[in-house]
Structure 1
Amino acid sequence: MRYRVLGPVELSADGVAVPLPQPRHRAILGFLVLHAEHVVTRDQLIEALWGGAEPPTAASQIHVAVSHLRGALRRHGLSEVIATRPGGYTLVAPPHETDAGMFGAELSAARQAQRRGDLPETVRRADRALALWRGEALAGVTAAYATGARQHLHEQQLAAQELRADAELALGRHDMLIPVLTRLVEAHPLREHLVCQLMLALYRAGRRADATQVARRMRALLAEEQGLDPGARFLELERSILTGDPGLDSPAPAAPQVRQAPAGLVAPAQLPFDVPSFTGRERELAALGRTGTPGVTVITGPAGAGKTALAAHWAHRVRDSFPDGQLYIDLRGFDPSAEPLTPLEVLARFLRGLGVGAQRVPDGADEASALLRSLLAGRRVLLVLDNARDAAQVRPLLPGSGDCAVIVTSRRPLVTLDARRIEIGGMPPEEATRLLGQYAEDRVAVDAAAAREVLRYCDHLPLAIRVTGARLLADPDLSLAALAARLADERSRLDLLEVDDLAVRTSFGAGYQALDPAAAAAFGLLGLLRVYSFDAATAAALWDVPIRAAEQTLDRLVSARLIERGGDRYRLHDLMRLFAMEHAATHSGAEGETALVRTATCYLGTVRRGTQLLRPGQILVGAEELADPRYAGLVPLPDVAAARTWFETERPNLVAFAEQVADGPDPLCRFALRLQAAMTMFLAGAGHLADWNHLCELSARVAQRLGDPTAEAIAMMNLGAIAQRQGRLAEAVTILDRALELSRAADRPSTQAAVLSYLASTYTELGEPDRSATCHRQAIALRRSVGDRKSTAHTLANAAYHFMTQREYAEAQGYLTEALEIKYAEQDLLSAGVTEVQLSGVLLAQGRYLDVVRAADTGLDLCRQYGDRYNEWIALLFRSVAYRRLGDSRRSRDDAAACLAVCEALRQIPARNLAAGLLGRPPITDDDSGDPVPVWLTIVLDQAGLPITPTE
């Protein structure tokens, strides 16, 4: 199930939540889910979101929001789920992929079962429908459609609850219904069907006075609030209750009651201790249901997630629904101190627990399994099979009776079992806080921030929180802040998470010890890798195996719950990473270094190929380093779109890996040098300045250590470029002067030219045109002397910025025209897109508005194709102004709205305020994030007759 609206709007891909931070995205997705597999027109979406009070830019806002939704889906492997159809959009999602669709199907099945008189099936299907609810439908969605849709969904929920209650009453289970119906009537005091059900349940439970009291309250409320009398059904039931009509008596119970056990059989009560203060897991308990639903349920999750505690707690809640007994066994599937129990051992225990004499227990598993099924036939027994290793261990233990329920807990999902599955992991923050508060409530209340840090270090795992709580109980003077400080040290964190017989390390170790030697060695090597997530190609390079073999090993590690999978990505949660690091010690030294060099080569080879796709023909310094083709070509990148997606996905991992190896030996440390040089165009264009800056600082440090002035000059040049873009102009000059000095010492004319070009732009921003012109002339001369046409074009385009600030537009256009001729000839399309945007600014300043639109169109297409979001907003801004001057107010506002959306996504507040000004909206004045608007751009707008400043 991917799409959920019966609660907060949520989307998941392969069990991993897809972030939907924008309320509008959640609102649109919710509407599409409610109309899944049907075409939704843009007008319908506008009406749904704004209810007839839409802004003029509604259509463009819908377009931008749907594009962002599609982007989020693509990043998680869901590329075709929002399809464009004639007239609108369709969410390609069959009913089983949406909770609303599944709810409708289960409710329909429950009604069909009721019509054919199958009351147990009616209850089972209604329970499955109700278990899909997670709270208020469309929670948090404030769009116009939400109120009506929410009312309709909750009406269906109430219908399911009433249907279930009717079936339970017909089965004679009125006692267990009374608390449920009481809560429902409190929430819906005027819903006559519910009130009648509660009255009947109370009467059948021998509580006639309470039943009549409910009736009087209903009459009073109905008269007071609506001035009406109750309906005929209510009146008839009330009269029958008052007269003690025998027709109201409970039918013979259909559910099995405590009965005479045949042949000396007993009703076992083997459930383990239920923690009285069990905390959290409300969502999972709701999914399990409030009564025992026949069938098999597997609770699966990693070590320390609290699977056993959840199963035991739920079993105690519903044990009254299983009057023929409850069987429990720890299968020891992942017990480091004992072998897993065999099915025959478990069957013998269960048979003895049911009263079968030891001499009557068969010697073979098949016969014992058949005997168990015979004994359970027609009985209502709950079986809890804890800590199962695999499906083969469980299957012989399953009853044949449809009235029995089985709860299995396992670290593995046991996918070959015909069962429903409930996945658990770390607790939600609010539940984790309550659990920690069970041990140190006063300290949690006093220092909530420290409590959050402690829980973060515990990965929100119940076992780790319990160990931490035990430590707090043992030391009443230990503050949460002090404990958080101790847990912050990764070297001792697992030691701290061990008290008496509770230890996170031991729990993890059970899964590790169950691995075969090859998988155990592979897991240890993962401990060398300090990244957030990785794919099969990265693992293949690290392990020096083919990708298919890596995928098989990854499957084994996922099955053992030592790593987590989301789509085609894998990760270790923080505590498991520390556990892996301990086992990585066996791969220290040359073996570990060689493995990391292979990984660096895989990463860097993909970066280089991706950069060539984004900017064909770009010369990369040090391309011969870390270039072993066995690893450099492991990741396929068929086109520009694939390269952009890979860069965005791997960006945090590449930076983290560069940070890890920067202080390592040569050649491993050169990864940081080459990565920042190869990723500069992508990081700058996509607006990831913090990552770019960090890589440059790492590279400068590595270059200094290796004595490589060329690499240091490139790193310093990029640091200067970042400082200039962020408005730190004096600092930029200092950094760029150092870069120029280094490039001259290394005798690198091309690097000198690039540094001079950045210096010239900085002097332009500082209002020193003479220095700027001198630097530009020197840069162009150096480029021409080297004969590097592509770099010459780049320098010519940079020189045009200077002439634009001097309002010498004819000269600027000449430089840009020559630059574009070279860039198109050299197929340097990413850079050509930037220059087209720049040219549209020159044309705007000259009042050539139709030409502005044409240049901006071309530039915008290229920038979007290659992922340059920074120049995307500039192109949209220029085109909006041009349309405004051409009298096309609709297109002008659409472009301004799209520009606003891009700027907000990039957190470029000064630029965002420019677009807001075109839309007549007030600026944001309490947020100074984002880069200053370049001087040349404000001059162009002023020349166009729009003296808009970012702070107006």
Structure 2
Amino acid sequence: MSHGRGENRVREQWRFAVLGPVGAWREGAEVDLGPPQQRALLAVLLLAEGAPVQGHELVDALWGGEPPASAVGSIRTYVHRLRKLLGPSVIRSAGNGYQVPVVREELDLVAFRDLLARADRARGAGDADKTALRLREALALWRGTALADIRGEYAQAQRERLGKLRLSALEHLLTATLDLGRHEEAATELAWLVAEHPLDERFRELLMLALYRCGRQSAALATYREVRTLLAEELGIDPGPGLQRMHERILRADAGLLVAPRPGAAERIPACTAPSAPPLPVPAQLPGALAVFVGRRDQLALADEVLPRADEPPVTVTISGMAGVGKTTFAVHWARQVAARFPDGQLHVNLRGFDPSGLPVGPEHALRTVLRSLGVAQHSLPHDVDALSALYRTLLADRRVLILLDDARDAQQVRPLLPSAPGCLAIITSRNLLSGLIAMEGAHPLRLDVLSVDEAHAFLARRLGHERVAAEPAAVREIVERCARLPLALAVASARAAARCTFPLATLAAELRDSQGSLDAFDDAEPDAAADVRAVLSSSYHDLTPAAARLFRLLSLHPGPDTSLPAAASLIGLPPADTRQLLAELLRAHLVDEPVAGRYGSHDLLRAYGSELARTTEPPAEHHATLRRALDHYLHSARAAVALHSPERALIPLAPAAAGVCAEEFAGDSAKAVAWFAAEQSVLRAAVERAAAHGFDVHAWQLAWALDIHLNRSGLWRDAEAVHLTALDAARRLGDPIARAHAHSGLAKALTTLGRVDEARAHIERSVELFTASGDLRACAESHHVLCWVAECQGDLESALGAAQRSLAIRRAVHDPEDPGSDDERGSRATAGALNALGWIHGLLGQHQEALDHCRQALALHEERGLGYGVWHIWNSIGSAHHHLGQYDEAVASFRKALAGYRQTGCLPIAEAGTLRRLGDTYVSMGRPGAARAEWTAALTILERLGHADAETLRGGLRRLPAPGP
């Protein structure tokens, strides 16, 4: 920079930023700072805030403990290039190092520190208005995560240091906001901060104070209970003195906690832009009550004694007992009796903790299900259990709800689903005692035993009629005894007797007496009770036709909790029409049920019995053939669905399906294919594990490949990681490099979205290596495309560019876009996608004309071939290139076309938000702040709904826009 009289003029020309991606602007125009290491060097100099940085310090910052031999020379090269970009006076030599002299107006970090100091002086003078104003000005300088585009240990350490400064500024700002009496505003911002930093006691304490001043004492106390539990579980400690004092003061309604709002203060400080919570739907999800429920009066009375009042802490009741004892029936009956006490809704989740498929519903899936029923859109849900649970508790704050969690396996499965608001009730059924909930959460245990003799008689009389039961007292006594008064056994026996209404009950009693059954799954059951359950099930089973009996046995080998008609047909190897008749027979015998139209399942005891029969009746070869047909059904169905909902993806070849397999048909309907994946998601997930466990390794990795796109689009990235790890193990057992390459590629995508980008990079590079060696050009191009994305997420734009170029080159080698007969529509889509990806990376590198050229080629290919799907991504890239070339009208038109496509699909909210932000940027450059505000506000709405980190950056941008005119 310069000295003397021209210094002020020169200083006004430059602006640098590190509180977000590293950037430099000259005369208001952004300067392309070059490759990542070059940008990193400028960042190190800027972070010194004008002080010189020695050469060895620069080497350490850029390369850590293992610098290359050329490190010093590389630094000189970077400095030379930066001087050419920024001018010779910006970076000065200082001994054997360099410095960038900056003042407040030139570097956001210096301005940030200056505003913090001014806020500190105002706070010392007791001026809350000025304190808040200065802190808001300081925080508005942040454009996202500090040094967001710089990698390495040094950058990470600086990010953490600056992040702590930002959090401290937020704490002081919210304290000042509370001092000004703006409690609701502070509570809204603090709720988001607590969800983002759950172990930071500063924000918890301020949130408790804000809620208390808003008149929400119960919510303030619930916040304390939540953090006390969290600190105990995560760190094994109690809340700190500050939190404990705040808790005590709220409990005794300390008048000193209240302050009066200062008149006019709210008008002098810009309001927060955090959205208000949407209205909560009132769910009523309890299953229908069973009209023939009898008895359990003592247990119902005990349960009623612990019901919470509106102002009391939430109550958890665990209902445990052996399988078939009637836990679910009891829980539903009691829940419906007390439902009116919970006017804000009743929720129900079947956790399938003891499902024979071995795949209980995880907390993440359960929370997603509940949140969707509360009106939260699928694409708006966070992606980890803690964030989902925090959103769940936030939505239920100050509301009285009842939640029934049926068939829980253990305490860990249900903890994230427990409501924390006063007056709420959680009812949990499980075969286990759930002692962890009793010890840690103070749950009230309620254990169900078998029915009393009188209750069992009443049970049969209610179902079979009082006259019929009274006519054969001896037979009824024997039926009750043989069923061991177990409700499930009594239900099946009474159903059989009801279906044979002309038979005397003595016949049923004799059949139970003579039956020989076995159900080893009841480890926690008393032997005589389990034996009688087997006898009852056996008597129903032996009344079936041979074909229906075989289907009952084979259904126990199905990998998931329920099945469709085509899947059942594939399982038994019969046409769907014949299979439908057999399922109808099983429905009449109560050996399967149809909880949802077209999907069939059965109680886990029945499945266990069917599995036992299959082991003793079907030869091993039939076991193997049945599982092969089931896996073939899902594999061939899934590949057909992938072909429709991922038209740009290269399809893998499959072996022919086994005889008798009835794969799903989608008739070219992509929406039907997407819906099929959603319906079969848990079955497909279980099928991957079942295939790997039984030696079907080819099916395991190919099913994982087929599931990949659905799991990623649904935000189920942990599931995606799990299935691809299973696939990788299977591929290694097979010794198949192509299978390994697909598994590595799938893992790379899952890990990238989970934020583990370095791990992802290793997997995708291995995938590229294996595909390259295999000669599979289409798969190789696809893996380079994924590598481009992973490298971009790492900030390694040079590698991303190389990967995009290689992907395009390979695409063109196998698909000539000038020759309509050279490849199919799928190849054209892939080539267009590769062109667009290459154009996008050129744009990120500042090579905007090259970006525009490549994206126009992609657009031309789309238009020539009439491809349609995916063209909106290209319009977004074209709009970005036009913007950076100063062609603003063209940019606006391109962004509008991209938005129309995103909104038509309705499933790409992140992409839509990004385009809205870029459109707003264009309007700013055109001098139209009102139009920019409209687009950025729309983008902010989407980002806040998703809980995305970029929302804060966008809020800052909105605050910096000129206020709208009168």
Normalising by structure 1, what TM-score? 0.45
Normalising by structure 2, what TM-score? 0.45
Which gives a bigger RCO, structure 1 or 2 (Cα 8 Å, sep 6+)?
Answer: 2
